[in-house]
Amino acid sequence: MHEAASSPASQRWRPLAAVGAALPLLLLWDASGLDLPLARWFATPEGFPLQYDPFLKGWMHEGARQLGWVVLALLITCIWRPMGALKQLARSERAWMIGTIVLSLLVVVAIKGISRTSCPWDLTEFGGTAQYVSHWAWGVQDGGGGHCFPAGHASTGFAFMALAVWLRAVSPRAGAWAWGIVLLAGCVLGWAQQVRGAHFLSHTLWTAWLCWAVAVTMHTLTWRRAGVAPASGNTPPSQQA
């Protein structure tokens, strides 16, 4: 009984429990109402002084986005020509991992597409035309352009949580490094957009949680190491004699 309870098959659902446990904390931040006070730290009644900062707008926004596509392209090539710790994953596992990264991006884009929430720089308090409306007020027009929730730019980093999740299953050290890099990238990109007035902190936090939830869910549903050979026939090292 004890051995079965601690088996890999029983442990595969624990990451999903962690994702669920983090949700109340995220909702607590939403309920705190601290988004707007935090935004005021970086704004004046005329707007956000750093909105058009060359470094934040050029390098941290446009440059980071292009770098994200380059990294994704390199990972796609790793489906057939893996390097480093990715060699410990079967080809089918690498393909699922890449698909999950793309799915994470699509989930964020889809929610942004239907969101009526405008960006901080659109608010009348900061020189815009919109009124502050919670992103939970679905369908409510705030007088701005909308489509600002969750934080799309932060997903350039957070979408790669799938890489960390898959690597952790075969190499805890590589997975830990991947987690650190991905979280740092997502937080830095999210913070850069916050000081520019493009997003509230909650927008970044929700992007992180959504990408984490997608990565963990897909990994839990598709992981095939419990004695099942991958469809590609590329046997994982852990199953080789």
What is the CB neighbour count within 10 angstroms for residue 88? Answer: 17
pTM score of the predicted model: 0.89
Rounded to whole angstroms, the Cα distance separating 85 from 10 reads: 25
88-113: per-residue pLDDT in tens?
Answer: 999 999 999 999 999 999 999 999 99
135-159: per-residue pLDDT in tens?
Answer: 998 888 999 999 999 999 999 999 9
Q: Which residues of 34-55 are buried (b: 16+ CB within 10 A; e: fewer)?
A: ebeeebeebbeeebbebbebee
Alpha carbon dihedral 46, 52, 56, 57, in 10-degree steps, equals 140
For residue 100, give every residue at least 6 positions away whose Cβ sits within 8 Å of its Cβ, in sequence order, or none. Answer: 162, 214, 215, 218, 219
Which residues pair with residue 123 across a beta bridge?
130
Q: Where are the domains of the chain?
A: 36-224
